[in-house]
Amino acid sequence: MIVMATLRFSYGTMGSGKSTLALQIHHNMSSRGVSGLLLTKLDRDGSQVTSRLGVSAPAIDVSLDLDLFELTKEHMPLQFLVCDETQFYSVEQCDQLARVVDELNVDVFAFAGAKSFDLKRLVLYLRICIFQSSKLGIIGIKF
């Protein structure tokens, strides 16, 4: 049986627990021996994902020129990516996440802050989730 990867997208307001959930997913998967990467951009404490609860973990800082598809290929075999602060990723990087799911069969958990969204960015994410990634699992909306 072949299991298809999924792209899961969650967004919410500041303080709603997005980074905490991202850290939980990364910890739970990694502690079971599932290989994956933790990524962030413009986190309040630099190259790590931090939670207001005081929990943190080192992460790959997503610079403007970082190709997320190539990064994933370089680290294969991977089974998941946890991507925090995705509202700051470029349009191209969002497209690369969809390719990671479709072409590399790697699960992507994407988290974004709702306050930083504008209509263009929301349309972009819906386009990625619905049209580009043929293996969409769940779009989790966190309030």
What is the value of pTM for the model shown?
A: 0.82
Q: What is the pLDDT along the chain (143 residues), one digit of tens a residue?
A: 677 888 888 877 777 888 999 999 999 999 999 999 999 987 666 788 888 888 889 999 999 999 999 999 999 999 999 999 888 888 889 889 989 998 999 999 998 887 655 555 665 666 555 544 444 444 444 43
Residues serving a catalytic function are 85
At position 1, the amino acid (one-letter code) is M
Q: Residue 111 in contact with residue 10, Cβ under 8 Å? A: yes
